Amino acid sequence: MSVASEGKRRGRRRALTEDEIVDAALSLLDGGGVEAMSIRAVAARVGVAPNAVYTYFPDKAAIVRALVERLLGQVDHGMFTDGARPWEDRVEAVAVELRNRLSEHPAAVGLMIGGPMDGPHALSLNEHLLRLLAGAGLDPDEAARASYLLIVYIFGSIALEVADQHRPGPLPTEDARTAERRERFARTPDDTFPLTAAAAPTMAGYVSTEQYLWGLHRVLDGIAARAAAPGGS
C-alpha cells in the first residue's frame, strides 16, 4: 500500500483546541459527575483518540485545573473595584455570583476545594479580595486571614448545598430543594430530638440564598469589627 493510500485510509487528524477539551470535560462533569470525566470519555466526546488529548493536557489533573480556571474566570472581578459601593457590598456581589455560577456546575465544587486554586483567575480573585480588605482598614496579615475566612465560608457553604443533592447536573430550584428538605426534616421524631424537630423549618432553608447571605453578613460584620478596631486587629 502506498503512503498516499495509507494516509487516505487513516484520514486526517481532527483539529482540536484546549477550549474544546474543557467544554467536553465540563459537559461530562455536569452529566455524570467526576467519574464520567475520564480522558477516554473526553476524547470520545470531541471525536479524537485519547493520545490527542495528551497533546494539550498532560493528564486529567491538568484538565481539572483548566476547568476550574474557566469557571472562576467567568466571575466579574470588576465588582471588586466599584468604588461607589461599600466594600461589604462588593464582597457580597462576588460571593453571590460565585454561588450562582457553581450552582450550574455543582460537581465542579468538589474539584475546586479538593485542589489548589492557584491559576491566574484564582490568584486574581484573591488579589482583588486582599486589596479590598486592605482598603477596608485591615493590615496585611489580617487581610490574608479574612480573605481565607471568606473563601472557606463561600466555598464551604456551596459545597454543603451541593452535597445535599445526590444526582449530577445543575441544582434544582431553591424552592424545590427547600420543599424536599422540609419534607425530610418533618419526619424527625420530636420525642427523641425535640430541638432538631423544632428547628426543622429553619433547617430546611439552609440551602436558600437567605441563609447564605445571613451567614455571609455575620462573617462580614466580624471582619468589619476587626477593621474598625485600633490597628485593624
Q: Which three cell numbers stand for residue 169?
A: 447536573
Quick check: 89 pLDDT over 60? yes
Domain for residue 137, yes or no?
A: yes
Domain shared by 192 and 223, yes or no: yes
Domain for residue 189, yes or no?
A: yes
What's the total number of domains in the chain? 2
Domain for residue 157, yes or no?
A: yes
The whole model's pTM is what?
Answer: 0.85
Domain for residue 222, yes or no?
A: yes
Q: Which three cell numbers stand for residue 40?
A: 477516554
Domain shared by 167 and 83, yes or no: yes
Domain shared by 190 and 223, yes or no: yes
Domain shared by 89 and 42, yes or no: no
Domain for residue 111, yes or no?
A: yes
Specify the pLDDT at position 50.
94
Tell me how far apart the alpha carbons of residues 198 and 186 are, in angstroms, rounded to a whole number. 9
Domain shared by 131 and 87, yes or no: yes
Domain shared by 117 and 219, yes or no: yes
Of 58, 86, 104, the last residue of a domain is: 58
Domain shared by 112 and 206, yes or no: yes
Domain for residue 71, yes or no?
A: no
Residue 77 is which amino acid?
H
Q: Which three cell numbers stand for residue 227?
A: 477593621
Domain shared by 218 and 168, yes or no: yes
C-beta contacts of 227-233 below 8 A and 24+ residues apart: 227/133, 227/136, 227/137, 227/138, 227/142, 228/137, 231/139, 232/137, 232/138, 232/139, 232/142, 233/139, 233/142
Which one has a higher pLDDT value, 165 or 147? Answer: 147
Domain for residue 206, yes or no?
A: yes
Specify the pLDDT at position 172.
87
Q: What is the CATH number of the domain that holds 94?
A: 1.10.357.10
Domain shared by 41 and 154, yes or no: no
Q: What is the CATH number of the domain that holds 45?
A: 1.10.10.60
Residue 44 domain boundaries: 1-58
Percent of the chain with pLDDT over 70: 92
Q: Binning pLDDT at 50, 70 and 90, where does residue 1 land?
A: very low
Specify the pLDDT at position 207.
93
Domain shared by 44 and 83, yes or no: no
Domain shared by 112 and 208, yes or no: yes
Q: Residue 83's CB: how many other CB atoms inside 10 A?
A: 8
**Minimal CA–CA distance to 71: which of 21, 126, 111, 14?**
111
Domain shared by 105 and 39, yes or no: no
pLDDT, tens digit, 9 for 90 and up, residues 68-78: 999 999 998 88
Specify the pLDDT at position 164.
81
